[in-house]
Structure 1
Amino acid sequence: MSSTNRLIDFCRGIKGKASSNSSVIRSLTEIFKKYGSNPNATKATLSSNSLLPKSYKLRVDWSHTDFESIEKVNFFTEYMVNLKDDGNVDKVIALNNLQDVTDELISVSSLDNQWKAVVREKIGKDKKSSQVIEFWSQKGKVKTLNGDKDKSFGKIHFSSTFGEMSWSRDGSQLMFIADKYKTTSGFFDEQKKNKDNNDESKSDLDEISKPTGQGEEYFLKEDWGEQLEGTCNPIVCIVDRKDDYKIRTIEVPGVSCSEAFWIDDKTIGFVGIMEETRRLGLIFCPIRKSCLYKCDLRDPESEPDCIYGKNIDIALRSPRVSYDSKKIVFLCNPPSGPHYQASSLVVFNMEDSTTKTLINTDSSLPNEIEDPTEIRTLYCLYLPNPCWLSDNKSIIVEASMGYKVHLFYINCETGLNTRIALPGKDVSVLSLLDDLAVVKISEPNCANILQIGKLNTNNNQLALIPIDPNYEVKIDDMEYRCDVLETIDPSTNVKQIVTSILISPKELIDKPSAAILLPHGGPHGNFEASYYSSVAAMVEAGFKLILINYRGSTGLNSAHEKFLCGKIGTTDVEDCIHVLKYYIEKSQIDPKQVFLLGGSHGGFLVTHLIGQHSDFGFKACCAMNPVTDLASGFGTSDIPDWHLVEGIGDLNIYPLNTKPTPELLKELLLKSPIFHIDKVQTPVLMGLGTKDKRVSMSQGLNYYYGLKARQIEAQCLVYEDNHSLSKVAHDLDRSVNTMLWFLDHLSSTSE
């Protein structure tokens, strides 16, 4: 099917429903497979080349979906980077040694490339899975560690939440975060008495020590919530390769360890997250109270020392140490308020234990979006790793501003920051070594633009050259526009802005046509003008996509972000309607062919829209794990604090003894989509995850049954998955079913 003969046009001409037409299903499936199969660069690693002084080795890790085996496939490619005499990059040479590493959970090499650690999942004879760490030298595998078998450590963590596995600078020790190994000894009737069988002087009733963990099989094991099931008590683990692979564990009572890093070869640092009396959800919520610790490894009995955050309420993350081990830079927030919010950038001086705030969060002026001259307010989930330049005085950061992500150079001594001008709308740093940066550039119609260049700290310029154009994705028949809309806060008469990204089939960009409104979740997040494979697939099918950043979205400043708190279901809904009317007035969307799609808080918004604005005539709605009932969510979610922040505007630290009073539940219910369910007329498709700890499946089911009871057309997809519904098979199924739902209601009411 050609780009100018879209699937949406074909569906308008068929008899019956698109979901019953095998040609439509086949075409739609192939479209999603096409974009899902494109490799995505996930990581890059630069390393020095000891044989050639003016060259570096570069490894790029990729991931894509294999739709035959229905699984994620991981592989890497390698390159030689040659430099000119002036230090700039001369050329990049592909080494043509692509290697499949799908069976590796993670692998990390020492700085000198002499050692590599690989984590794999193994299935034992008892059919139980366990993680093993393999140690490889240049001559082959030399050691395998099994934490379960050795009873030394539990599940290994390597997500951004808990940090990466890393080698010491001299390559002698490997450090990682893992759950503390826990022993259970079964039931009470399986007692193994700890007494000498030959000691007849003791009776069975004599006091003895019970086996460790006996009778604790069914005790509640409190974890860190959504997507972190079973993650209860992470600790720091260090393997000493030169001491017969002896494992040292470091822990702090009442603290979950995360983001461990090497300060030098004999000293480590890590973030300690307070466990408190209840562990509130951690993923997507970097506001949990935490401290910065260090530990001297020279003394085997040394205890971790808290060096920052002990006597203050703070949530910190993303510690990065300078190459001279004298400074640590990190992000921090108050442990309250929006779960993702503007961060302060702080540098800690290891020599005198002083701190300096480089960027704070109190700017009254919003960030400029297109050509900012400075970072007024910093929105950055994690700092690049590493982020320090070779002068040990400056760093580079990625700063989200509206619908763009910019790269900035920051002098940690003066606090001055300057934008590094680069092409594209979304820029991220994949690797940094000796001021040589690997960056990934993206826009809605192009992806995997990998480039490398040397940063000139005199003029903050980065002279880039392409790495491997073979992996670039460019969509010639797609166009997009970024718009900034003004709105007025009626309570203060102050101008505010809403941003949106219109992504369209090229031939329809200036024509009124069918459109899907897609609000983001959070609600404190934002859409950047970046590449999204699912959006590209929907555009190829013939739909326009409207990605909206309503008031409360991140990227501008704290006032803009917090404006939504206590106003969800009103302000964000108004902004959605405002954006739709804007594009209708510009004759860029067809008001009779508007569809709604959203997940989590995005699902909250689309279900609010079909209730509060049923007269708009939305053609169909799809909501994935939507928040439909704030009152019930307060008691079932892993983040009850979110409901107070967003529902009633309480920005204080959440009291863990908060009780659900009738007044509180009433206020939450009145702001919920289910309160407006009697007005809904739009057909609704729900997608729910049975393992969702963030938004209980019961919310979506209750809303679905409410629609059915009111004779509103509704269907419900149920997946054995978590809040993100990200398993490969589930992602493809919900994507295809969503489009079929929209095409069914488009074709049956063609104009």
Structure 2
Amino acid sequence: MASSSSSAAPAGPAKPREEAPGMEKEAALLEAFASLPALGKGWAAPAAGGHGARVTLQLSQRNLPANSQRKYLTTFQLNEAVLEAGEVEPSPPVEQSGVLLYAPSPSGRRTLVVRGGSGESSAVLEVWDRCRLLKELHVPKALHGAVYNDGWFGMGAAWSPDKTRIAYVAEAPPPARTPEWGAPPAGPDGKKAEGAAPKGWRGQGEWSEDWGELNTGKKPPTLFVLDTESWAVQRVQGLPEDASCGQPVWAPEGDALLFVCWEHQSELASASFPQRLGVVFCFNRPCSLQAVPWPQPALAAADGKAAVCLTSSLGSAFSPRFSPDGRTLVFLSQQNAISTGVHSATVTLHSLAWGDAAAALAGGMAPPSRTVVDTVWNPASPDDFPGIYCGALPEQPFLPGGHTLLLTTQWRSLAAVIAVDLRSGQVTRVTPVNGASWSLVAMSNGWVVASESRPSQPFGLFAAHISESEQSAPTAAAWGWSALPLPDAELAAYPAAVREALADVAASVLQVAPTTPPTNVGCEAVVLHSRSAPGPRPTIITPHGGPHSAYLAQYFMPLTYLVSLGYNVVLLNYRGSTGFGEASIQSLPGSIGTNDVADCLASLQAAVDAGLADPERVAVVGGSHGGFLTGHLVGQQPDRFKCAILRNPVCDISLMIHGKQLSDIPDWCYAEAWGVEEAHKRAGARPSHEDLQRFWDVSPIKHVGQVRVPMFFMLGAKDRRVPMDDAKQYINALRRRPDAPETRVIVFPEDSHALDKPQTEFEQWLNAAWWVKRFI
């Protein structure tokens, strides 16, 4: 399978390629798995009469022929009767065809729907009031570009308290048009003579940087406000120049607009790399929480700035939310990532008294924030709270009373919903410890909906209602979660082959003792295995990417699919993974290629010792940093594995910063290869010979001469994080050996780093199944 395009697929059952014979059954099962729905976002609003809540869910389903995700909405009522009965009656699904952004107001009465524009318009804004369309606006491209709803710069839209204004994020308008060259001059009336000369051309203008992977060619995000009385859209004025702005939220009285600001030339970042670096999954990009007064005042200052920074003492502040009474502003910070240079670290939760902070808009000084939940360095046991690990607070995180907020966090190899008391900082885990991962879906007035996910279950809905007496400091015992079966998500609604496969999947979390220093930080393996066939089976180990991320014990379709084909799958949360305390994260930089490799081997041995892995039949599959570890494992331990699959792998770090196609995250190379202290001294656009030697020494390509197992590479041609040339050089080094192992390559021309388009996902995992079937 030399190459493949992700742009087309047959409408009928997918057919395996000629080089993967005998895979018809596996292809049919994978297509059945691909048909399962996934739970996206959720919104809750008070129900009519104040009795209960109205919950809207956004679900998605892969559309393989169209190579896209089909999104749709369903709504149901949540009240005491529903909790008692333990069942819901959802509305018929409504597909969101062409919808880029869906943003209900907090009351649920009005909704903003954004669709893509055409011709001279960049977007179509629709404002709905319950069951009728109030207004449709076509925004001209001269005002702004495409609307951002990427989950970072744009996280939906913000409704003002009186519902008369909606703030959202879109690309800044294009700069002034460049001069036209080669055209005849205009006459006295400003018009050109017809047929006088060929048409001219316009210059390109100054080149503009973007935010790297998944942001290629995008203009910087900035803020716009739609007025629902005048039906005018205006660009917010007075924002910092040469900066990106996003995540807007209105002040409680509607007299200020708060937002997150990422300066393009931040002092914290520009010392080493003056260019704008990649931001996707990179939380170490400095950002601040700022505010502008509303309505917009006349900008008398020479520089035209009106924005006031509210978090000058922190290098990172994002995801602002107000308490229901408007007195407290809470937000998250990735200060640990900023100070150390790792791309993701333990998150801290902060608060500001809004009355004091608002004074800064009148010319005063913003007060220092208070740390509500600080960094947890090294939890004493697996049961202890390890710190916060999340990318955003819920849109409505507060229980009534405003003293307690809920959020979803990672807790070692699981996800959990926690309650945080703002007054004391006390953290309580409010979802069951039952081997499943739990996530907050939506909440309104004490009515809470959460999702439970396991490797054997895409998602299940649960609800709870916290009474007035329990809202100030909810304990885990006070949460009586009731199951809410959603017809589309019930096992009985799935295809028969999928029902049978899911019913046989089990998961075990193994504690793993590190074999190299430091040995006192967390390390776990999540083993997916069969219920009906206990004991060792052919085994696939898969280290996650990042390296500062994690595999959770929850549903991930490709891995559950592999278990259904007869393999046990070992998910490796080596030291450096998130969810285990900051000490675990900071133990890895400077030790990649050594400690993470040792932990992968120790985790495999733990699975063997538990009777869940066959040591004689092991394959390794990994992407990004997981691909980096895959290359190391088969190079350092060539006799331990039977085959390998590498998805957009890091093979030679030096090529990411000194090659033909540079990575959008060159800072990652220094931080992970050298460690925090050395990286601060060395990081820069021109690596020294010593740097290049270090990059080589910790990279898989150093061991390419020892690789003996069959190797399968899956690459995205538009990957800016780990450009394709990195893997190509490694592949060339393999193939020029006289004793080269069998090596296969698939290139997906239109894919970037994640390789997650539906057709790409299908083809790569069907090929993965074919590859491991051949060798283990």
- TM, length-normalised to structure 1: 0.88
Distance 1:571 1:376, change over 3 A: closer
Determine which of 386, 398, 401 is the counterpart of 1:391. Answer: 401
Distance 1:364 1:79, change over 3 A: closer
Aligned to 1:315: 316
Q: Secondary structure at the match of 1:677?
A: helix
Kindly state the Cα deviation for residue 743 of structure 1 after the two structures are TM-superposed: 1.3
Aligned to 1:675: 702
- 1:224-249 Cα distance to aligned partner (Å, 9 max, x none): 00011223321111010102324242
Determine which of 91, 95, 102 is the counterpart of 1:100. Answer: 95
Bigger drift between 448-457 and 293-302 goes to 293-302
- Equivalent residue letter for 1:43: K
Tell me, in whole angstroms, the C-alpha distance in 2 between the residues paired with 1:90 and 1:641. Answer: 54
Pairs aligned (count): 700
Aligned to 1:716: 745
Kindly state the Cα deviation for residue 122 of structure 1 after the two structures are TM-superposed: 4.0
Structure 1 residue 539 corresponds to structure 2 residue 528: no
Tell me, in whole angstroms, the C-alpha distance in 2 between the residues paired with 1:687 and 1:609. Answer: 18
- 1:66-125 Cα distance to aligned partner (Å, 9 max, x none): 2344431111111112236xx97776541432211132122222234443221112444x
Aligned to 1:499: 524
Tell me, in whole angstroms, the C-alpha distance in 2 between the residues paired with 1:121 and 1:308. Answer: 34
Aligned to 1:179: 171
Tell me, in whole angstroms, the C-alpha distance in 1 between the residues paired with 2:85 and 2:577. Answer: 41
The answer (yes or no) to whether the contact 2:181–2:203 under 8 Å persists in 1 is: no
The answer (yes or no) to whether the contact 2:53–2:447 under 8 Å persists in 1 is: no
Structure 1 residue 735 corresponds to structure 2 residue 765: yes
Tell me, in whole angstroms, the C-alpha distance in 1 between the residues paired with 2:756 and 2:105. Answer: 32
Determine which of 410, 420, 439 is the counterpart of 2:450. Answer: 439
The answer (yes or no) to whether the contact 1:489–1:495 under 8 Å persists in 2 is: no
Determine which of 229, 232, 235 is the counterpart of 2:219. Answer: 232
Tell me, in whole angstroms, the C-alpha distance in 2 between the residues paired with 1:258 and 1:274. Answer: 12
The answer (yes or no) to whether the contact 2:333–2:347 under 8 Å persists in 1 is: yes
Distance 1:694 1:558, change over 3 A: same
- Equivalent residue letter for 2:167: M
Aligned to 1:13: none
Kindly state the Cα deviation for residue 308 of structure 1 after the two structures are TM-superposed: 2.6
- Equivalent residue letter for 2:465: K
Q: Secondary structure at the match of 2:514?
A: strand
Q: Secondary structure at the match of 2:481?
A: strand
Bigger drift between 321-330 and 728-737 goes to 321-330
Structure 1 residue 619 corresponds to structure 2 residue 642: yes
Distance 1:640 1:23, change over 3 A: closer
1:5-44 to structure 2, matched below 5 A, reads 20=18, 24-44=22-42
Kindly state the Cα deviation for residue 147 of structure 1 after the two structures are TM-superposed: 3.2
Aligned to 1:5: none
Tell me, in whole angstroms, the C-alpha distance in 1 between the residues paired with 2:77 and 2:446. Answer: 17
1:648-659 to structure 2, matched below 5 A, reads 648-651=674-677, 657-659=684-686
Kindly state the Cα deviation for residue 347 of structure 1 after the two structures are TM-superposed: 0.9
Distance 1:385 1:135, change over 3 A: closer
Aligned to 2:57: 60
Aligned to 2:687: 660
Aligned to 1:463: 480
Unaligned segments of structure 2, at least 5 residues: 1-15, 192-200, 266-273, 300-304, 358-366, 492-498
Tell me, in whole angstroms, the C-alpha distance in 2 between the residues paired with 1:239 and 1:629. Answer: 48
The answer (yes or no) to whether the contact 2:213–2:721 under 8 Å persists in 1 is: yes
Structure 1 residue 472 corresponds to structure 2 residue 490: yes
Kindly state the Cα deviation for residue 449 of structure 1 after the two structures are TM-superposed: 0.7
Kindly state the Cα deviation for residue 459 of structure 1 after the two structures are TM-superposed: 4.1
- Equivalent residue letter for 2:458: A
The answer (yes or no) to whether the contact 2:386–2:411 under 8 Å persists in 1 is: no
Distance 1:269 1:726, change over 3 A: same
Aligned to 1:519: 543
Tell me, in whole angstroms, the C-alpha distance in 2 between the residues paired with 1:22 and 1:646. Answer: 38
Distance 1:499 1:174, change over 3 A: same
- Equivalent residue letter for 2:462: Q
1:577-592 to structure 2, matched below 5 A, reads 577-592=601-616
The answer (yes or no) to whether the contact 1:479–1:509 under 8 Å persists in 2 is: no
- 1:14-38 Cα distance to aligned partner (Å, 9 max, x none): xxxx975887322111222222211
Tell me, in whole angstroms, the C-alpha distance in 2 between the residues paired with 1:434 and 1:315. Answer: 30
The answer (yes or no) to whether the contact 1:186–1:216 under 8 Å persists in 2 is: yes
Determine which of 421, 424, 436 is the counterpart of 1:414. Answer: 424
- Equivalent residue letter for 2:379: P
Distance 1:247 1:468, change over 3 A: farther
Tell me, in whole angstroms, the C-alpha distance in 2 between the residues paired with 1:141 and 1:624. Answer: 46
Tell me, in whole angstroms, the C-alpha distance in 2 between the residues paired with 1:367 and 1:392. Answer: 31
Tell me, in whole angstroms, the C-alpha distance in 2 between the residues paired with 1:130 and 1:299. Answer: 24
Q: Secondary structure at the match of 1:559?
A: helix
Determine which of 666, 689, 694 is the counterpart of 2:716. Answer: 689
Determine which of 443, 446, 451 is the counterpart of 2:462. Answer: 451
Tell me, in whole angstroms, the C-alpha distance in 2 between the residues paired with 1:516 and 1:198. Answer: 71
Distance 1:579 1:53, change over 3 A: closer
Kindly state the Cα deviation for residue 634 of structure 1 after the two structures are TM-superposed: 2.0
- 1:509-564 Cα distance to aligned partner (Å, 9 max, x none): 32x22010000000011111111111111111111100010111111111111101
Structure 1 residue 633 corresponds to structure 2 residue 633: no
The answer (yes or no) to whether the contact 2:88–2:486 under 8 Å persists in 1 is: no
Unaligned segments of structure 1, at least 5 residues: 1-17, 200-213, 747-751
Q: Secondary structure at the match of 1:486?
A: coil
Bigger drift between 386-395 and 512-521 goes to 386-395
- Equivalent residue letter for 1:659: R
Kindly state the Cα deviation for residue 445 of structure 1 after the two structures are TM-superposed: 1.3
Aligned to 1:8: none
Aligned to 1:12: none
Aligned to 1:161: 152
Kindly state the Cα deviation for residue 258 of structure 1 after the two structures are TM-superposed: 1.5
Q: Secondary structure at the match of 1:580?
A: helix
- Equivalent residue letter for 1:403: S
Aligned to 1:209: none
The answer (yes or no) to whether the contact 1:424–1:442 under 8 Å persists in 2 is: no
The answer (yes or no) to whether the contact 2:722–2:753 under 8 Å persists in 1 is: yes
Tell me, in whole angstroms, the C-alpha distance in 1 between the residues paired with 2:734 and 2:226. Answer: 56
Tell me, in whole angstroms, the C-alpha distance in 1 between the residues paired with 2:684 and 2:429. Answer: 45
1:349-360 to structure 2, matched below 5 A, reads 349-353=353-357, 354=367, 355-360=369-374
Kindly state the Cα deviation for residue 193 of structure 1 after the two structures are TM-superposed: 6.9
The answer (yes or no) to whether the contact 1:233–1:255 under 8 Å persists in 2 is: yes
Distance 1:515 1:297, change over 3 A: same
Tell me, in whole angstroms, the C-alpha distance in 2 between the residues paired with 1:27 and 1:376. Answer: 43
Distance 1:170 1:655, change over 3 A: farther
Aligned to 2:197: none
Aligned to 1:642: 668
The answer (yes or no) to whether the contact 1:367–1:401 under 8 Å persists in 2 is: no
Determine which of 631, 652, 657 is the counterpart of 1:607. Answer: 631
- 1:196-228 Cα distance to aligned partner (Å, 9 max, x none): 6589xxxxxxxxxxxxxx955264220000011
Q: Secondary structure at the match of 1:483?
A: strand
Larger strand fraction of residues: 1
Structure 1 residue 257 corresponds to structure 2 residue 268: no
The answer (yes or no) to whether the contact 1:409–1:420 under 8 Å persists in 2 is: yes
The answer (yes or no) to whether the contact 1:273–1:291 under 8 Å persists in 2 is: yes
Tell me, in whole angstroms, the C-alpha distance in 2 between the residues paired with 1:300 and 1:191. Answer: 42
The answer (yes or no) to whether the contact 1:157–1:178 under 8 Å persists in 2 is: yes
Bigger drift between 709-718 and 329-338 goes to 329-338
Determine which of 717, 729, 741 is the counterpart of 1:702. Answer: 729
The answer (yes or no) to whether the contact 1:290–1:309 under 8 Å persists in 2 is: no
Tell me, in whole angstroms, the C-alpha distance in 1 between the residues paired with 2:693 and 2:611. Answer: 41
Distance 1:232 1:89, change over 3 A: farther
Supply the RMSD in Å over aligned alpha carbons.
2.6
Structure 1 residue 484 corresponds to structure 2 residue 511: yes
Bigger drift between 457-466 and 531-540 goes to 457-466
Q: Secondary structure at the match of 1:24?
A: coil
